């Protein structure tokens, strides 16, 4: 009877453990590889150690076995139990490092989408100026890099099917990337407790075929409910909180909508940046935006001159808190814009600066 119960328990827990979400990206497959390696490795040691413990406890129980001779060390044994775990640990480390590298380095031809987390919804801003709330549309078989920030508190962006998860932090950008392999709808969660409606901070990741993606870009409405939904999340949930705040599906580039970079261009003149910065390489009060993105900049930080790579986070800091790193050879005369530009405006301005190669 006991054996039967144990068997049942083992079978149900194994079945549960194997129903992890579908692996809908290459990274997810690599991730699963190391996950199962660690699970089985732990299982081997668990079974081995517990079995030895039980056997010894029974075999050498007091009264049955008389006190054995005292042994002082056993060099071959000690070498074996040091060398084998060391090798296993290096395998875990090396393999983990490999998968981690794959996860954090987005291919250079990735399509970029900006993600803004706020209590309690996810907003997605595309290069063409479109934005959507609660639904992230991406094409299949194309690397996508998400540049994420938060408007208020800590959030975390998690796509279980792609095995990517990253904190979304106010005041800076963090990224994840993926290449979707399975068209249809995938669940997105916020996995950092962020207030009363945290559990409702969901989104749908909608992976479109090549043709559907073209349609969506040109402003056609996609019948999302007709797309295949992921079977591992049967009670699939969309974000109801964002509805009514924005059109949940705003694929509306048609009608002469400005691209994100063009919105940025309009903003740098309406915010007065153009008084001190040019877009054509000429030096005004401050440095020109032309060729800025991606170059090495010499800046004075805390009295010392250091070299920094101009990326999204550097641009963000230069705009919100320009005195943190002052460009060498320029006066510390730029006013801080923290609180004067919101996340969406900041994204547009940075996209504009990025576009001035």
Q: Among 315, 347, 348, 356, which residue interacts with ligand HEC (rule: CB under 6 A)?
A: 315
Q: Which two tokens stand for residue 48?
A: 């081995």
Q: Which stretch binds ligand HEC (CB under 6 A): 16-24, 174-182, 245-253, 274-282?
A: 274-282
Among 99, 121, 147, 292, indicate the residue that binds ligand HEC (CB under 6 A): 292
Of 99, 125, 201, 268, the one binding Cu ion (CB under 5 A) is 201
Q: Is 173 in the site for ligand HEC (CB under 6 A)?
A: no
CA angle, 40 then 45 then 48, to 5°: 120
| Nearer Cβ to Cu ion (190/353) | 190
Q: Is 83 or 340 the residue whose CB approaches ligand HEC more closely? A: 340
Site string for ligand HEC, 338-357 (x = CB under 6 A): -----------x--------
Pair type for strands 164-168 and 111-118: unpaired
Of the residues 113, 138, 194, 261, which one makes contact with Cu ion according to CB under 5 A: 194
Q: CA-to-CA distance for 117 and 169, rounded, in angstroms?
A: 9
Q: Does 190 bind Cu ion (CB under 5 A)?
A: yes
Q: Rounded to the nearest 5 degrees, what angle is found at the Cα of 163, between the Cα atoms of 343 and 115?
A: 10
Shortest reach from residue 104's CB to ligand HEC, in Å: 25
Buried b (16+ CB within 10 A) or exposed e, 156-183: bbbbbbbbbebebbeeebbbbbbbbbbb
- DSSP strand pairing (326-327 vs 296-301): antiparallel
Cβ atoms 189, 202 nearer than 8 A: yes
47 binds ligand HEC (CB under 6 A): no
Restricting to residues 101-160, name those near Cu ion by CB under 5 A: 155
Which is nearer to ligand HEC, 34 or 323 (by Cβ)?
Answer: 323
| SS3 assignment, position 180 | strand
Q: Which stretch binds Cu ion (CB under 5 A): 12-20, 105-113, 201-209, 224-232?
A: 201-209
106: helix, coil or strand?
Answer: coil
Written as one string, the DSSP assignment of 238-258 is --SSSBTTB-SS----TTTPP
Instruction: Tell which residue, 15, 263, 345, 22, has the closest CA to residue 161.
Output: 22
Stretch that binds ligand HEC, among 23-31, 93-101, 121-129, 284-292 (CB under 6 A): 284-292
- Strand-by-strand arrangement of the 155-159 sheet: 135-139, 203-208, 184-190, 155-159, 164-168
Question: What residue 190 binds from ligand HEC, Cu ion, none (CB within 5 to 8 A, per partner kind)?
Answer: Cu ion
* 318 binding partner (options ligand HEC, Cu ion, none; Cβ < 5 to 8 Å by kind): ligand HEC
User: Binder to ligand HEC among 110, 271, 313, 344 (CB under 6 A)?
Assistant: 271
> How far is 80 from 73, CA to CA, in rounded Å?
13
Question: What residue ranges bind ligand HEC (CB under 6 A)?
Answer: 268, 271-273, 275-277, 285-287, 292, 297, 315, 318-319, 322, 326-327, 330-334, 337, 349
Question: What residue ranges bind Cu ion (CB under 5 A)?
Answer: 155, 190, 194, 201
């Amino acid at each position: 009877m006991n054996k039967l119960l144990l068997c049942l328990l083992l079978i149900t827990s194994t079945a549960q453990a194997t129903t992890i979400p579908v692996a809908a990206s290459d990274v997810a497959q690599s991730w699963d590889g190391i996950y199962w390696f660690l699970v089985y490795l732990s299982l081997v040691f668990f079974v081995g150690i517990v079995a030895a413990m039980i056997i010894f406890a029974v075999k050498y129980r007091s009264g049955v076995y008389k006190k054995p001779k005292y042994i002082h060390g056993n060099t071959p044994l000690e070498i074996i139990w040091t060398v084998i775990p060391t090798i296993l640990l290096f395998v875990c480390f090396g393999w983990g490092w490999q998968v981690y590298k794959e996860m954090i380095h987005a291919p250079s031809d990735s399509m970029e989408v900006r993600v803004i987390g706020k209590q309690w919804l996810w907003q997605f801003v595309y290069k063409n100026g479109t934005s959507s709330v609660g639904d992230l549309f991406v094409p299949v078989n194309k690397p996508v890099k998400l540049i994420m920030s938060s408007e208020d508190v800590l959030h975390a962006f998690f796509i279980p099917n792609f095995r990517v998860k990253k904190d979304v932090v106010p005041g800076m950008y963090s990224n994840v990337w993926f290449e979707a392999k399975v068209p249809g709808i995938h669940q997105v969660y916020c996995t950092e407790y962020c207030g009363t409606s945290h559990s409702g901070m969901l989104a749908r990741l909608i992976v479109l075929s090549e043709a559907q993606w073209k349609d969506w870009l040109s402003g056609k409405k996609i019948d999302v409910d007709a797309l295949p939904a992921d079977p591992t999340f049967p009670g699939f949930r969309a974000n109801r909180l964002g509805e009514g705040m924005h059109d949940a599906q705003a694929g509306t580039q048609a009608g002469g909508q400005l691209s994100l970079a063009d919105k940025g261009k309009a903003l740098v003149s309406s915010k007065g940046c153009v008084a001190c910065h040019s877009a054509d390489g000429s030096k005004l009060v401050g440095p020109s935006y032309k060729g800025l993105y991606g170059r090495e900049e010499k800046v004075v930080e805390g009295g010392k001159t250091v070299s920094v790579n101009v990326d999204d986070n550097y641009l963000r800091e230069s705009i919100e808190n320009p005195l943190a790193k002052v460009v060498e050879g320029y006066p510390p005369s730029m006013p801080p814009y923290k609180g004067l530009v919101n996340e969406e405006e900041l994204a547009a301005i940075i996209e504009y600066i990025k576009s001035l190669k």
